[in-house]
A and B are shown apart, each in its own frame.
Chain A
Amino acid sequence: MEAILFYLLAAVTLIGTLCAITARQAVRAIVYLVTSFFALALIFYLLGAPLVAAFEVIIYAGAIMVLFLFVIMMLELAHPEKLAKPRLSEWWPALILMLVVIGSVAVLAAARQPAPPAAFHGITVREFSVTLFKRYGVAVEVISMQLLFALVGALYLGRRR
């Protein structure tokens, strides 16, 4: 049952993404993407990561995509005629890259499967938090500095000359 759900969600994700990257309008792409991210969040949930799933929805589908939408609106890029859509010829190299990457990963991943631990019931929020603050506390500090400087940078660039 879970497996079927997984494949279904995977299909949704892929189709959503495919639609997003081939969308005529950026706004539509965002919408497709949000769909795809929702499906992905469910996959996360299926894979025993409820917290990441939640954050995926909140931060990605919520905040980041909205940020995108906001910029698209601000720069008045919503109209398709303003954007040169990639020609078919420009897709070819991308396609080749895609095939190589997928193929290679598939080949490499198929080589030998490690056995999963016997009893896995997903990772609880508690477990997650303990790991985060006991083992990766420094990472939190670093990422906070980074976020701060994202702010600084954005502000700096936004400055009027």
Chain B
Amino acid sequence: MTFDFPILTLLILLPLCGSLLTLACRRSDLAARRVALFFALAELAVCAWICLASLPAAPAGAPAGFFLFEDAAWIERFGIRYTLGMDGVSLIMVFLTAFISAIAAVVSWKGITERIPLYFALLLALEAGIQGVFLSLDLFLFYLFWEAMLIPMFFLIGIWGHGRRIYSAVKFFLYTFFGSLLMLVAIISLYLMHGAQSGSYTFALGQLIHTSVPYGIGLWLYAAFLFAFAIKFPLFPLHTWLPDAHTDAPTAGSVILASLLLKTGAYALIRFGYPLFPEAARAFTPLLYVSAVIGISYGAWVAFAQEDMKRLVAYSSVSHMGFVALGIAAWSPVALSGALLQMVNHGVTTGALFALVGMLDERTHSRELATYGGVWGKAPVLAFFFLLFCMASAGVPGLNNFVGEFLVLVGTFRVSPAAAAGAFLGIVLTLVYTVRLVQEILFGKEKKPLALADLTLREGGILAVLAVVDVYLGVHPGPLLELMKTPIALLTGGK
């Protein structure tokens, strides 16, 4: 197999084709599910292949660190190119996307009962959009995917959600849309600035990073980028779309939202924000620290007050993503490794928690903590997984979240002890709400009789896979750390 084969394009097109094919399965819901699952798994297989294949170090024309690279003219007038590239960081995120999407497809196997083809089509379209974000190296292309992935998510929340689904869907869309439009202004400004300086008008990341941006303007441009990313992240105080969107989305929607969509913000900050505006980023670091630290504790604190399981997990996302932001703000090799690791970990763990909440919800049609109690006795397998993922979420060592948080904290402390010190409080507060969740759901007596069957084989399979990943990453994050080593070294200039 030669590497002229556009495998990155395949990564984007595969779900997209799957989406169209699924949509074509008007007659049979089962066929739609199967087609969707097939394509999700095929995507996963491609990712696995990339991991396993020993790829040559750098294809021609690729920036340093990228082992897969595709480049084609697209809109010549603006020097917009269809540039995709994959380095270790993208590979991790792409793999996560494929993995979580497959999980999401299985999660919604039974829970979605109407308009099934459309649902799965949107799910796959969303996957395509997210893969695009993680792969594009052209700012225009990136922006295109960045915005495009909003649409399927909007529909997923709005059509199959519950509660105030429309409000949440619109809020989600507007929040992110607003942020990204300002980013567009910044992108264009940067493009023009670079064009004026070098004479070559291009959106290619590799060239734009060489733009010399005047400090004052750089601040503004970076602020626009940061604003867009911070909303996706979400950083305090731009997070309020998240609890609503998570709570009202269908289970798979929440899973993808938490596991993947939030990651795009962090990823983009690492891939675009910092490299493009190193000086401005440094200037904004204190702000990012403050926001991250407040987010960690605040998210955890507010999560404690929640009565709705999903909302609780949603706020926990705010808290966990605070750690990611902290790691990025520190921008030291260790902290950044931790942040990336935490992105994956949060994706897996929180995704699993949302899936679990969805399973409970499917059984009892209630997400109120007050409804539950004594689930351990009723559904021990479910309870086992619930506990496992809760503990992972609380950062118990041996499970995955710990490694990420630990690296972030240790790495950050090295750079900025004050910022890290604030974040340490989060360790305690995280446990407080997690334990409350476990307590209310698993322990105690049944508050009212619940018809609570234990997990089915499908559900157990999903959770088992996620649990294996959780434990594996917890005890052996080495491969991931190894993958991200080169890109991080290049990004931070570390060794």
Q: Answer yes or no: A and B touching, Cβ < 8 Å.
A: no
